[in-house]
Structure 1
Amino acid sequence: MRLIFLFSLMLISFSSWSYSVGTQQETVSSSTLKRMLNVRIFYPSDNHQAVRLLAASPVFTGSYAIEQAHPAAGQFPLIVLNYGSSGNDSSLA
């Protein structure tokens, strides 16, 4: 019984360590290339307000995130994804 209690306590505590997912859509422009690049940034956030389903369609399940949420403090790894010429940022979410 003690083992079950400790295991349950451990599982409950993991949820308090988790971050929410924040997202922002930005446009980056280059004066030399005369192009604009639309990017969507996903990042860990301490904000725990209601999430919104983004980019859901009959083909893609979409993802849940908080738009314009404040980023969490600390250092996190950077992961860069490029969807190529026949996709879009929402299809990777």
Structure 2
Amino acid sequence: MTEKHSPPKSRWFSPWLGKQTAQVAENEVIQMQVVTTEIAAEEGVTVCYCFNVDEESIKSAIKKHKLCSVEAVGLCLEAGTHCGSCHSRIQALLD
């Protein structure tokens, strides 16, 4: 199983940048995750960057536990339970 991490929240940025700037920074982090997730999905590497879950881990869990939804994958691996940018890739692996 892959190592699990949570991305920084805007409250983490707030003391240094101010609340509005912190929200912009958090949004930019999420946008970078979306782009890198799309690239990684094409290469077959990491699917969920929020929790560092790779394609093979998801495929293995789907087969082993007979998972049939993005939500079930999330319960099993946490993939897709934070920003949601990987939902379409997880769904593609389920189809």
**TM-score where L is the length of structure 1:** 0.28
Name the structure with the higher strand share.
1
